Every structure is written in C-alpha cells, then in structure tokens.
Homo-oligomer: A and B are copies of this chain.
Amino acid sequence: MTRTSLKDFNCSLAQAAEVIGDKWTLLILREAFFGTASFSDFRKNLGVAKTVLSARLQSLVDHGVLERAPTRPGVDRHTYRLTAAGRDFFPALVTLMQWSDKWVFGPGNEPLCVMDKKTRSAVQHVGVQARDGHFLTPRETTFGPGPGANEETLEAFASLARGNRDS
C-alpha cells in the first residue's frame, strides 16, 4: 500500500507530524510561546510570507493548537493564543531545541537558553525516564501495542517479533 496521507496511520507520531511536521509551524509555535499573538507580529518576527503564515496559522487553529479571537469587537483583526493542547507542545519544542543545541550549534554556542523563571537556572536536559526517574536510552526501551492499536499495528508488531528487529 502506498500512502499519500499520514491520517491513515494508527500512530501517534504520524498524527503529531500531521500537526507540526512543517518547518514554519514549529517556529510559529515558538513565537506563540514567546508571547507573540498578532498576525503582523508573527510576520515581523519570523519574516515569513503572508500566504504561508496565513495557511499555517489556520492549520494550527483547525488542529486545536491555537485559538483565534478578534483583537477588539467588530474589528477584522485577530490574535492567536495557545490552547491547552498548544501549551502541551512545550516539552516537544524544548526537546527539539536541545537536540540542535547539542548537534548543530554545539556546547557553548546555544543561541537561546530556557530557564526556570524562579531560579534563572537552565532547565534540565529533557530525556525519557523510567518510573523510578532514571533516564533510559533507546536500547533500554521497547515498544508494544497500546490499548488503541488497530489490526495493522498488531500485525506490524507480530512481524517485528518475527525478526525485523536487530536482523
């Protein structure tokens, strides 16, 4: 089967990609976390073409990540704010930032610093943790079907178990 849309995938990552799998979308979210709210400020701060910005903002509204409200009643200008789902993208954005801080810019060359507001010290490096809090490498983890696995997902895991993995 050749897929043309990610919507077919019974996969959380595919659905996240559907929402943010676009370069400008990530930066629009970044701006929203900085407090940017108006179309003109997004445009000024990102230097992105009007048509691109307009389409990406609309998509984020459609996916429930941003909400649009009129700037003032009766005025045809809007502000965009993160919804609860939008604010929940925060760990993903910080994790992606930390990835390129390490692998693209390198230690000592980080353009930005994310800090605990109260202590002004940098946040921890985000990682995947076991129940007891210790950090896990990919090799120390494994995947299994979740409660929402469909037949295709179950078959994929059966196939992995038959030896696709570590072959």
Chain A interface residues (CB < 8 Å from chain B) = 1-3, 6, 9-27, 30, 33-37, 41, 45-49, 64, 82, 85, 87-105, 108-124, 126-131, 133, 136-150, 153, 156, 160, 164-167
Contacts and interface: CB of A to CB of B under 8 A. Distances in A.
Nearest to A2: B47
Nearest to A50: B2
Given A15-B100, A34-B160, A88-B102, A123 B128 contact: yes
Contact of A153 (B14, B27, B111): B111
A128 to B, nearest CB: 5
Residue of A13, A108, A148 most packed against chain B (CB within 10 A): A13
A111 B12 CA distance: 7
Contacts of A140: 116-118
A1 B164 CA distance: 49
Contacts of A26: 13-14, 16-17, 21
A121 B133 CA distance: 12
Given A15-B105, A111-B150, A128 B126 contact: yes
Contacts of A41: 164
28 contacts: A11-B112, A13-B27, A13-B93, A15-B105, A16-B99, A16-B100, A17-B27, A33-B138, A34-B143, A34-B165, A35-B164, A82-B138, A88-B99, A90-B137, A92-B95, A95-B95, A108-B148, A109-B146, A109-B147, A111-B146, A112-B145, A112-B146, A113-B143, A114-B128, A117-B140, A118-B130, A123-B136, A123-B141
